[in-house]
Amino acid sequence: MFSRRFILGALSAVTLAGPASMAAAEEVYIPLVSKGFQHQFWQAVKSGAEQAADEFDVTITFEGPDNETMVDRQIDMLAAALANNPKAIGFAALDSQAAIPLLKQANEKGIPIIAFDSGVDSDIPLSTATTDNLAAAGLAADKMAEKIGGKGKVAVVAHDQTSRTGIDRRDGFVNRMAEKYPDIEVVTVQYGQGDHLKSTEVTKAILTANPDLNGIFGTNEGSAIGVVNGVQELGTEGLVIIGYDSGKAQKDAIKSGLMAGAITQNPVGIGYETVKAAVAALNGEEVPGLIDTGFYYYDASNIDDPKIAAVLYD
């Protein structure tokens, strides 16, 4: 295996190089365009992609826009990746429809597309490596219901309403409450764009309008941290907070009791499985349409359990 080398460029895209087992001496290049780069979640996804790139002797780049509202910037990144004539592409869509024209171009060129984390409303991707977000958010609803005694008022601070993750986590939580807990009312769903500062302000507005609120669900890392910050800034007590993802701020909030618990994905596994599926496609192997990378609920009682600790990240 050749040594790892880094390409210096926008957003510190990382490149891993090695002998291309699939095409004689030809380098196999697989760019991954993610939804963002700033959250610890995406750094963990990138780490998993790097592991797979080392293992399968391919070259990858990993990049994403500065924040998860920049759909146009992500589309530009996808166009640039496509222009570099990759062998395959990994893509995590900020908008489930906006990228479809470019993905059609890639498909016409015979470039396999592997979606990760958040899919698109198209059958072009050969596979999607992701969490079952509907089921995971449903579990968050179950835990919320348990914590508030099966009755009361709750709210959702979601990261967006355009990506599949945003839609599925919102709907998974709201629908589970409607189906199983008739005495719990979801009073509002608000969007903080996955930004902890915006989510803080959204949370404070929700709490001001609903002083009798019992709980809030934050649908990703930035949303959940924003909820915690908003609750602290207003001095609200007794509110049950359920988060999503990991990261140091959420883990600290759970250990301190500010947050009741959270859903953790397997971001390293998402990155690894994306590259693995791309390599399999290039080798002419059949890949599953959905790669379920799993999820867990964690709280202060199990945060140090080896099985849980293995999928948490800082």
Residue 1, pLDDT > 90, answer: no
**Span 93-116, mean pLDDT?**
96
Residue 76, pLDDT > 70, answer: yes
pLDDT tens-digit map of 144-156: 999 999 999 999 9
| Distance separating alpha carbons of residues 133 and 235, to the nearest angstrom | 31
| Distance separating alpha carbons of residues 149 and 159, to the nearest angstrom | 27
Q: What is the pLDDT of residue 10?
A: 33
Q: What is the pLDDT of residue 186?
A: 98
In the predicted model, what is the mean pLDDT of the chain? 91
pLDDT tens-digit map of 21-34: 444 347 899 999 99
* Number of CB atoms found within 10 A of residue 299's CB: 17
Burial 164-195 (b: 16+ CB within 10 A, else e): bbbbbbbbbbbebbeeebeebbbbbbbbbbbb
Instruction: Tell me if 77 sits within 8 A of 64, measured CB to CB.
Output: yes
Segment among 7-16, 183-192, 263-272 with least mean pLDDT: 7-16
Set out the domains of the chain in order of their start, with CATH numbers: 10-131+266-294 (3.40.50.2300), 133-264 (3.40.50.2300)
Q: What is the pLDDT of residue 271?
A: 98
Residue 248, pLDDT > 80, answer: yes
Residue 2, pLDDT > 50, answer: no
> Closest by alpha carbon to 144, among 188, 171, 168, 176?
176
List of E strands, the chain: 29-33, 59-63, 89-91, 113-116, 127-130, 152-158, 184-191, 215-218, 240-244, 261-264, 290-292, 296-298
Residue 77, pLDDT > 90, answer: yes
Q: What is the pLDDT of residue 314?
A: 80
**Span 228-242, mean pLDDT?**
97
pTM listed for this prediction: 0.86
What's phi and psi for 200, nearest 5 deg?
-60, -45
Q: What is the pLDDT of residue 311?
A: 92
Chain position carrying tokens 């906006």: 98
Q: What is the pLDDT of residue 263?
A: 98
Q: Which residue has the higher pLDDT, 277 or 18?
A: 277
- Collapsing DSSP to helix, strand or coil, 87 comes out as coil
Indicate the angle between helix axes 267-282 and 40-56, nearest 10 degrees: 40
Q: How confident is the model at residue 252 (pLDDT cuts 50, 70, 90)?
A: very high
Could you tell me the sign of the dihedral formed by the alpha carbons of 254, 147, 210, 190, in that order?
positive
